[in-house]
Structure 1
Amino acid sequence: MLTYDLCWLLGQSADEFWSEKYEKSPALWRGDGRRFNELFGMEDFERYLTISGCSDGAIVLAPPGGTSGRLDPHEVELAWRAGYSVIAADLHKRWPEVITLAADLGAAMCCALAVNAYLSPPEGSAFARHYDAHDVFILQTYGSKHWLVFDPADELPVMHTQNAQLNRDSALALDAELRAGDVLYVPRGHPHVATAGSEGSLHLTVALSPSRWVDLAHALVDVLAQQSVELRRTAHDFTSFTTTDLMRKLIEANDASASICMTELQRYLDRDRVDTALPGGALESLISDHERVGLDTVVQRRRGGPVRWGLRDGRVWLTVCGRRMELPEVAVSALEYLSRTEQFRISNLPDAYSDRAKVTLVRAWLREGIVLRTQVTHD
């Protein structure tokens, strides 16, 4: 089973990316022109137009200012011929293979991903020079596109900026033409602009949303405020206080809430996130006779999002792809095993559990759709 991890994306070890490129400088990797054919090619784009019915939000035209709202495929074609780029939005929620890409790559990079497809006409450009507040990978699937990426105008920004705000004196950091199979990495804060070649261009933009220290700080304040009345009181005449006074308030609230841990902060950050479960055997597994499950049964973890779990009030909670359940605290070892093992034979669960307990636990996971039965054997 192909896994769309970082090594697959780059076509090599990811060690240099993490040490030399991530959040530092743009980078380009050349690849075989057919390697992204199964993800989202030109035929897939046309099929997407038909299946989505060009419903609200499914298709966006760029640059902004053209027709908006619900568009039929004919209107989209006319807009493309008129010079507009056509964006298939939120493919990480709408297209099975891209959902798989976002799930696998997101798990490998420990962050949420969003994926859009950009179809640009010959010599077309979707946006003027700008920079983003998130890192992106560009996966060229068809045609070619000429990219200019500049030195950062704002190191690791927290907000996007538009063309009018850019420093035009930024030095050129990368000048490259992407062809089908190539991958480009652009860190946040690096201004960039891209123009399609003579045959047009189709590429996937994969936007990364990791948990930054500033996100954890926001989460800490919000979680502390849920437990501290002092932080919820009105800040009368706060201009007479210093930031040191404010930090003292937070430290006092934190000291009084010793139960807060980093896992709880991550859970708070993920509160509105719904992982999309991937297609493939789910319905068939759910209606199977789980009473026939035994120690030799092979199951696989539901793909589409990471395993999230934690302890609360003597119970352990578990979420996978939006499925949530609670278990006794003794299930911790089993959840640790589940979080690091994609496919396993039931008998291979930790020896801390009896054979009967292993089978009972996996039957519960099957009923909740957290794992699926598979015919593939793996020890």
Structure 2
Amino acid sequence: MPRHEPGRFDDLLSEADVERLVCSTAIRYPAFRLVRQGRQLDVGDYTGTVSWRPPFTSTADVRRVLAEWEAGATIVLQALHVNWHPLAVFCRLLEDALGHAVQVNAYYTPRGSQGFAVHHDTHDVLVLQVAGEKRWLLYDPLLELPLKHQRYSSTLGEHGEPTDDLVLRAGDTLYLPRGWLHQAETSATDSLHLTIGITPYTWIDAAKGALSECENELSLRRGVDTGGADGLAGLLAEKLDPERVEHRRRRRFLDSRRPIREDGLSQLRALERLDTETLLERRETVIADLEQRADGLALVFEGREVRFPAHAEAELEACFEREGAFRASELPGDLDDEGRLVLVRRLVREGFLRAISG
């Protein structure tokens, strides 16, 4: 989508941010790497060791990184959804909207250069052009909907003529479906762009999940030389019911979301001052489900099940569903003030709620 709006994405990651990270923070591989003309440079050519006990290895050698960038190498900042807070929050909110895992890398390419040759990605991609401009050539897929391990290789054949030839400028966005071949190069300006990867949950994943649930079936634990697996087809058909598939997909998604708590330490101190009139809010970076259990409720998020008794159901559901700030005293239900404080303090400690200062 063309916008030509310089600065539109600077709150996520700016050129100044990249320069600071690379030139003054002792960033270490694999948080960054250098590539040129489709080839990854040897890590030892641009990193060194910072003396400490134990030493910091594979740390950016600023002089060599700058020399390689000036010579045409692209600086790749990797897994920014893990180690750069603005993009961690952005990706989590996008995950909440899409229901799929999201990742992000940044590519800072000097003018007149190319980082990667023609290739495809094994996930859907959103490109956000942060600064400068970049020319993109797009080609029809050679392998439709590749899986994660099915990376691009020249053995797939020769690509055809470009289906699109376009230039992204600051503020522009581009969507690349999984498997579409592409390459990009800079012109007379340096270029910084983000690639937001959206990982699909495929029927291969669903089938693997269904099989993993069958491990308690004795017939499937026998060796294949003992005969057929009795009832396997019917068992798999049952476990591949759309509702069960969606439940497994959702649970795997929830279990794999890491905590994002920029105020985790200060929230522990806020517990000391928390009372029924303290303003609270649901943490925006938490994606969770509230599930019924035989003895109460379970809040499922970040790889955990946090259990609560049935008599706190009304208050817990209100905390789960609330939008905006609220106070424990405002919650519906039959808990007294002490019970409400026990509930919200636990939710703050677990990282589901946060106390609002001021």
Q: TM-score range by the shorter chain?
A: 0.7 to 0.9
Is the 1:277–1:302 Cα contact (8 Å) retained in structure 2? no
Report the TM-score, using the length of structure 1 for normalisation: 0.78
2:352 corresponds to which residue? Answer: 370
Report the Cα offset of residue 358 of structure 1.
3.8
Could you tell me how far 1:266 is from its partner in structure 2?
A: 3.2
Which whole-Å CA distance do the structure 2 matches of 1:367 and 1:123 have between them?
51
Partner of 2:162: 172
The corresponding residue for 1:139 is 128
CA displacement at 1:298 relative to structure 2: 2.2
Q: Is the 8 A contact 2:131 2:193 kept in 1?
A: yes
CA-CA distance at 1:184 after TM superposition: 0.8
Q: Are residue 82 (structure 1) and residue 71 (structure 2) matched?
A: yes
Give me the whole-angstrom Cα distance separating, in 1, the residues matched to 2:290 and 2:128.
33
How many Å separate the matches in 2 of 1:267 and 1:307? 10
Deviation at 1:31, TM superposition (A): 5.0
What residue identity is the alignment partner of 1:326? Answer: R
The amino acid that maps onto 2:348 is: L
- Secondary structure of 1:198's counterpart equals coil
Residue 14 of structure 2 corresponds to: 41
1:111 to 100, 104, 109: 100
Q: 1:216 to 1:52 in 2, by over 3 A?
A: farther
Q: Secondary structure at the match of 2:39?
A: coil
What do the CA deviations read for 1:232-255 (whole angstroms, capped 9, x no partner)? 2222288xx6xxx78x41533776
* In structure 2, C-alpha distance between the alignment counterparts of 1:348 and 1:30, rounded to whole Å: 47
The one-letter code matched in structure 1 to 2:5 is D
Bigger mean CA deviation after superposition, 335-344 or 199-208: 335-344
Shift of 1:55: 1.3
- What is the aligned partner in structure 1 of residue 55 from structure 2? none
More off after superposition, 333-342 vs 180-189: 333-342
The structural deviation recorded for 1:374 is: 1.0
- Amino acid corresponding to residue 325 of structure 1 in structure 2: V
Determine if contact 1:334/1:349 at 8 Å carries over to the other structure.
no
Q: Is the 8 A contact 1:221 1:250 kept in 2?
A: no
- Alpha-carbon spacing, 1:257–1:42, altered in 2? closer, same or farther (3 Å): closer
Deviations 1:63-98 (A, max 9, x none): 334221523222211211222111011111111111
- Conserved 8 A contact 1:138-1:185: yes
Residue 343 of structure 1 aligns to a residue in which SS? coil
Q: 223, 226, 239: which is aligned to 1:234?
A: 223
Following superposition, the deviation at residue 366 of structure 1 comes to 1.7
With the length of structure 2 as denominator, give the TM-score of the two structures.
0.82
Residue 273 in 1 paired to residue 248 in 2? no
Identity rate, percent: 27
The one of 6, 20, 41 aligned to 1:66:
41
Deviation at 1:139, TM superposition (A): 0.8
Contact 2:210 2:240 in 1 (8 A): no
Aligned pair in 2 of structure 1 residues 264, 132: CA closer, same or farther (>3 Å)? Answer: same
Q: Which runs of 5+ in 2 are unaligned?
A: 45-57
Judge conservation of contact 1:142–1:203 (CA < 8 Å) in 2: yes
Whole-angstrom CA distance in 2 between matches of 1:272 and 1:48: 30
Instruction: Name 1:16's counterpart in structure 2.
Output: none
Q: Secondary structure at the match of 1:199?
A: coil
- Corresponding letter in the other structure for 1:68: V
Cα 1:278–1:327, aligned 2, differ >3 Å: closer, same or farther?
Answer: same
Residue of structure 1 equivalent to 2:142 = 153
Instruction: Identify the residue that residue 98 of structure 1 maps to in structure 2.
Output: 87
Amino acid at match of 1:78: A
Question: Offset of 1:169 from its aligned partner?
Answer: 5.0
Kindly state the Cα deviation for residue 115 of structure 1 after the two structures are TM-superposed.
0.8
CA distance in 2, matches of 1:56, 1:178: 29
Counterpart contact for 1:316–1:328, Cα < 8 Å: yes
Q: In 2, distance between residues paired with 1:47 and 1:165?
A: 40
Trace 1:156-305 onto structure 2 (pairs within 5 A). 156-159=145-148, 160-168=150-158, 170=160, 172-225=162-215, 227-236=216-225, 248-252=231-235, 261-262=244-245, 265-266=248-249, 269-270=252-253, 273-279=256-262, 281-290=263-272, 292-294=274-276, 296-305=277-286
Partners of 1:346 and 1:358 within 8 A in 2 = no
Give the CA deviation at 1:57: 0.6
- 1:198 is matched by which residue type in structure 2? A
Please state how far the C-alpha of 1:326 moved relative to its aligned partner: 1.8
The match for 1:345 is 326
Structure 1 runs not aligned, ≥5 long = 1-27
One-letter code aligned to 1:314? D
CA drift at 1:166: 4.4
The letter for the 2-side match of 1:44 is: D
Partners of 2:321 and 2:107 in 1: how far apart? 34
**Paired AA for residue 235 in structure 2:** E
CA distance in 1, matches of 2:310, 2:268: 26
Distance 1:169 1:64, change over 3 A: closer
Partners of 2:290 and 2:299 within 8 A in 1: yes
Distance 1:331 1:89 in 2: 43
Alignment length (residue pairs): 339
